[in-house]
Amino acid sequence: MARSLRASGVRPGMKVHNAYGYGLFTGGMGAHAGAEALGCTVIPISGGQTERQITLIQDFKPDAILATPTYLLTIADAMMKQGIDPASTSLKYAVLGAEPWTEEMRHELETTMNIKACDIYGLSEVMGPGVAGEAVETQDGSHIWEDHFRPEIIDAFDPSVVLGDGEHGELVFTSLTKEALPIIRYRTKDLTRLLPGTARPAHRRMGRITGRSDDMIILRGVNLFPSQIEEIALRIPELSPHFQLELTRPEGQRMDQLTVKIERRESVTVEGVASAAKVLQQQIKIHVGSSCTVDVVEPGSLERSNGKLRRIYDMRPKA
């Protein structure tokens, strides 16, 4: 974990604001221990209580923040509502993980908060946070610490097939140095690919996680992930990163329906809303291959993240 933090720009002596949960989830305590091992002072806030997060960022002036990407977005939005410019804080680095996020989300956060945002990867079954970390110099995917974990990529639908580097599939880990609970070929359900190392050439990189096999929506025969919608939506200036996907099956119909509920940005006019909705609908059809309904809603009307954000609301009748 200390190695991952240092790769992402955190240095000994820095103050680190830790907004990962401190409950039975491994993120908070794992991140805390790693930051202390690196020689940092940790501000142990945990998740939630966004107003308090903002107060302590202003009071303690941390150099770095650890959080999920959607929760950091929540903090930035809350700052703007208070009349605080998120780019004016002391924060220089953000180390973000625990949920898939896109390059478009990185650009949104870096521009809004004037920070460098890097990915970090971990999972409770394998160790917790710090299995892989992204280098601030390149920001091109998390290097897997292969002296501790052996990665493989398998076909998510046929686990007997091991794929080569560069091929997309499900990430599998075997622990090499773990003593209490060794893991052999553990299926993570995370979908990615393995790439050569860059800033840390001794260690291969993970491509950005496109989703989880258990988060995949099969809509009228088309495979769809929330990260695909995020990537498309954030290319449309009128739309915000706040969205939900609602799956329904109207009574008497055999086909599932997808509604994308997404907030408009504050400055958008009524005409802009209609135009943006049409563009998003068209782009999803072109790039994902499935029709959907787009409902552009008022800013602040959708649920905000307090940690890991729920994107999918399955309202179809249970079989």
Q: For residues 137 and 157, which has the higher predicted lDDT (pLDDT)?
A: 137
Residue 166 falls inside a structural domain:
yes
pLDDT in tens, 174-213: 999 999 889 999 999 999 999 999 999 999 999 988 888 7
Residue 289 falls inside a structural domain:
yes
Assigned token pair, 305 = 């993240």
| CA-atom Rg of the chain in angstroms | 20
Residue 302's pLDDT is what? 92
Q: Which helix (H) or strand (E) holds 287?
A: helix 270-287
pLDDT of residue 11 exceeding 90: yes
Residue 26 falls inside a structural domain:
yes
**Residue 261 and residue 118 in one domain:** no
Mean of all residue pLDDT scores within the chain: 92
Count of structural domains, the chain: 2
Residue where one domain finishes, among candidates 158, 189, 212: 212
pLDDT in tens, 232-259: 999 999 999 999 999 898 877 777 889 9
Residue 319's pLDDT is what? 58
**Residue 61 and residue 33 in one domain:** yes
Q: For residue 171, give Cα distances in angstroms to 9, 101, 117, 223, 231.
A: 26, 17, 23, 18, 22
Residue where one domain finishes, among candidates 190, 212, 234: 212
Residue 216's pLDDT is what? 76
Residue 133 falls inside a structural domain:
yes
**Residue 126 and residue 102 in one domain:** yes
Residue 319 falls inside a structural domain:
no
**Residue 183 and residue 259 in one domain:** no
- Are 192 and 152 in contact by the 8 Å Cβ rule? The answer is no
Residue 167, domain extent: 2-212
Residue 282's pLDDT is what? 94
pLDDT band at 33 (very low <50, low <70, confident <90, very high): very high
**Residue 154 and residue 292 in one domain:** no
The domain spanning residue 103 has which CATH number? Answer: 3.40.50.12780
Mean pLDDT computed over 212-232: 81
**Residue 247 and residue 170 in one domain:** no
**Residue 195 and residue 225 in one domain:** no
Please give the Cα distance from 137 to 171 (Å, whole number). 25
Please give the Cα distance from 110 to 139 (Å, whole number). 12
**Residue 102 and residue 230 in one domain:** no
Q: Please name the residue that has the structure tokens 């903002």.
A: 54
**Residue 29 and residue 136 in one domain:** yes
Residue where one domain finishes, among candidates 157, 179, 212: 212
Residue 5's pLDDT is what? 98
pLDDT of residue 44 exceeding 80: yes
**Residue 109 and residue 256 in one domain:** no
Q: Which helix (H) or strand (E) holds 128?
A: strand 128-134
The domain spanning residue 310 has which CATH number? Answer: 3.30.300.30
**Residue 208 and residue 286 in one domain:** no
DSSP assignment string, 4-44: HHHHTT--TT-EEEE-S--SSSHHHHHHHHHHHHHTPEEEE
pLDDT in tens, 282-318: 999 998 888 899 999 999 899 888 777 888 888 877 7
Residue 71's pLDDT is what? 93
pLDDT in tens, 101-152: 899 999 999 999 999 999 999 998 899 999 999 999 999 999 999 999 999 9
**Residue 111 and residue 188 in one domain:** yes
Residue 118 falls inside a structural domain:
yes
